[in-house]
Structure 1
Amino acid sequence: MSPLFPALTDDTRAGRPALRFGDRSLTYAELAATTGALADRLKGSGRVAVWATPTLETAVAVVAALRAGVAAVPLNPKSGEKELGHILSDSAPSLVLTAPTDELPSPLRDLERIDVDVDEDVDGTGQADLDEHTATGEDAALVVYTSGTTGPPKGAVIPRRAVATTLDALADAWQWTADDVLVHALPLFHVHGLILGILGPLRRGGSVRHLGRFDTEGVARELSAGATMLFGVPTMYHRIAEALPAEPELAKALGRARLLVSGSAALPVHDHERIAAATGRRVIERYGMTETLMNTSVRADGEPRAGTVGVPLPGVELRLVEDDGTPLTAYDGESVGEIQVRGPNLFTEYLNRPDATAAAFTPDGWFHTGDMAVRDPDGYVRIVGRKATDLIKSGGYKIGAGEIENALLEHPGVREAAVTGEPDPDLGERVVAWIVPANPQSPPPAQELSAHVATRLSPHKRPRTVHYLSSLPRNDMGKIMKRALRTADTDD
Structure 2
Amino acid sequence: MSSLFPALTGSRTDRPALRFGDRSLTYGELGAAAGALAARIGGAGRVAVWATPALETAVAVVAALEAGVAAVPLNPKSGEKELGHILTDSAPALVLAAPGDELPLALRDLERLDVEVQATEPAPHDHDRASADDDPALVVYTSGTTGPPKGAVIPRRAVAATLDALADAWQWTGDDVLVHGLPLFHVHGLVLGILGPLRRGGSVRHLGRFSTEGVARELHDGATMLFGVPTMYHRIAQTLPDDPDLAKALGRARVLVSGSAALPVHDHERITAATGRRVIERYGMTETLMNTSVRADGEPRAGTVGVPLPGVELRLVEEDGAPITSYDGETVGEIQVRGPNLFTEYLNRPDATAAAFTADGWFRTGDMAVRDPDGYVRIVGRKATDLIKSGGYKIGAGEIENALLEHPAVREAAVTGEPDADLGERIVAWIVPADHQAPPTVEELADHVASRLAPHKRPRVVHYLGALPRNDMGKIMKRALTRD
Question: Which bracket does the TM-score occupy, shorter chain normalised?
Answer: over 0.9
CA distance in 2, matches of 1:190, 1:416: 25
How far does the alpha carbon of each residue in 1:17-73 deviate from its partner, in whole angstroms, 9 at most, with x for none? Answer: 000000000000000000000000010111000000011100000000000100000
Matched, 1:455 2:451: yes
Q: Which residue of 1 aligns with 2:120?
A: 122
CA distance in 2, matches of 1:48, 1:66: 11
Q: Which residue of 2 aligns with 1:5?
A: 5
Q: How far did residue 127 of structure 1 move?
A: 4.8
Q: Which residue of 1 aligns with 2:136?
A: 140
Q: How far did residue 129 of structure 1 move?
A: 1.6
CA distance in 1, matches of 2:299, 2:354: 37
Matched, 1:397 2:396: no
Q: How far did residue 440 of structure 1 move?
A: 1.0
How far does the alpha carbon of each residue in 1:189-235 deviate from its partner, in whole angstroms, 9 at most, with x for none? Answer: 00000000000000000000000000000000000100000000000
CA distance in 1, matches of 2:326, 2:434: 39
Q: Secondary structure at the match of 1:260?
A: strand
Q: Which residue of 1 aligns with 2:270?
A: 274
Q: Secondary structure at the match of 1:329?
A: coil
Q: How far did residue 2 of structure 1 move?
A: 2.4
Q: How far did residue 445 of structure 1 move?
A: 1.1
Q: Which residue of 2 aligns with 1:254?
A: 250
Q: Which amino acid aligns with 1:29?
A: G
Q: Is the 8 A contact 2:96 2:115 kept in 1?
A: yes
Q: Secondary structure at the match of 2:381?
A: strand
Task: Name the stretch that deviates more: 334-343 or 444-453.
Answer: 444-453
Q: Secondary structure at the match of 2:320?
A: coil
Q: Which residue of 2 aligns with 1:87?
A: 86
Q: Which residue of 1 aligns with 2:183?
A: 187
Matched, 1:106 2:105: yes
Q: How far did residue 300 of structure 1 move?
A: 0.4
Q: Which residue of 2 aligns with 1:60?
A: 59
Q: How far did residue 377 of structure 1 move?
A: 0.4
Q: Which residue of 2 aligns with 1:421?
A: 417
Q: Secondary structure at the match of 1:226?
A: coil
Matched, 1:346 2:339: no
How far does the alpha carbon of each residue in 1:401-445 deviate from its partner, in whole angstroms, 9 at most, with x for none? Answer: 000000000000000000000000000000000000011111111
Q: Which residue of 1 aligns with 2:196?
A: 200
Q: How far did residue 3 of structure 1 move?
A: 1.4
RMSD between aligned residues: 0.8
CA distance in 2, matches of 1:183, 1:174: 15
Q: How far did residue 148 of structure 1 move?
A: 0.1
Q: Which residue of 1 aligns with 2:364?
A: 368
- Give every structure 1 segment of 4 or more consecutive aligned residues whose post-TM-superposition deviation is greater than 4 Å: none
Q: How far did residue 447 of structure 1 move?
A: 1.0
Give the share of equivalent positions with the same residue, in percent. Answer: 84
Q: Is the 8 A contact 2:293 2:308 kept in 1?
A: yes
Q: 2:300 pairs with 299, 304, 307, which one?
A: 304
Q: Is the 8 A contact 1:43 1:131 kept in 2?
A: no
Q: Is the 8 A contact 2:3 2:127 kept in 1?
A: no
Q: 1:335 pairs with 309, 328, 331, which one?
A: 331
Q: Is the 8 A contact 1:39 1:130 kept in 2?
A: no
Aligned length: 484
Q: Which amino acid aligns with 2:105?
A: S
Q: Is the 8 A contact 2:336 2:365 kept in 1?
A: yes
The TM-score, its normalising length taken from structure 1, stands at 0.98
Q: How far did residue 122 of structure 1 move?
A: 2.0
Matched, 1:322 2:321: no
For structure 2, the residue ranges without an aligned partner over 5 or more in a row are none
How far does the alpha carbon of each residue in 1:130-175 deviate from its partner, in whole angstroms, 9 at most, with x for none? Answer: 445x411010000000000000000000000000000000000000
CA distance in 2, matches of 1:181, 1:29: 17
Q: Secondary structure at the match of 2:227?
A: strand
Q: Secondary structure at the match of 2:64?
A: helix
Q: Which residue of 2 aligns with 1:213?
A: 209
Matched, 1:243 2:239: yes
CA distance in 2, matches of 1:105, 1:447: 51
How far does the alpha carbon of each residue in 1:263-296 deviate from its partner, in whole angstroms, 9 at most, with x for none? Answer: 0000000100000000000001000010000000
Q: Which residue of 1 aligns with 2:69?
A: 70
Q: Which residue of 2 aligns with 1:167?
A: 163
How far does the alpha carbon of each residue in 1:326-368 deviate from its partner, in whole angstroms, 9 at most, with x for none? Answer: 0000100000000000000000000000000000000000000
Q: Secondary structure at the match of 1:128?
A: coil
Q: Secondary structure at the match of 2:269?
A: helix
CA distance in 2, matches of 1:54, 1:446: 43
The TM-score, its normalising length taken from structure 2, stands at 0.99
Q: Is the 8 A contact 1:165 1:345 kept in 2?
A: yes
Q: How far did residue 128 of structure 1 move?
A: 1.9
CA distance in 1, matches of 2:100, 2:306: 42
CA distance in 1, matches of 2:415, 2:54: 36
Matched, 1:24 2:20: no
Q: Which amino acid aligns with 1:303?
A: E
Q: Which amino acid aligns with 2:202?
A: G
Q: How far did residue 446 of structure 1 move?
A: 1.4
Q: Is the 8 A contact 2:2 2:127 kept in 1?
A: no
For structure 1, the residue ranges without an aligned partner over 5 or more in a row are none
CA distance in 1, matches of 2:226, 2:75: 23
Q: Which amino acid aligns with 1:228?
A: T
CA distance in 2, matches of 1:217, 1:112: 39
Q: How far did residue 486 of structure 1 move?
A: 2.1
Q: Secondary structure at the match of 2:321?
A: coil
Q: Secondary structure at the match of 1:54?
A: coil
Q: How does 1:469-488 map to 2 (within 5 A)?
A: 469-486=465-482
Q: Which residue of 1 aligns with 2:279?
A: 283
Q: Which amino acid aligns with 1:123?
A: E
Q: Secondary structure at the match of 2:189?
A: helix
CA distance in 2, matches of 1:444, 1:128: 63
Q: Is the 8 A contact 2:36 2:119 kept in 1?
A: no
Q: Is the 8 A contact 2:313 2:337 kept in 1?
A: yes
Q: Secondary structure at the match of 1:467?
A: strand
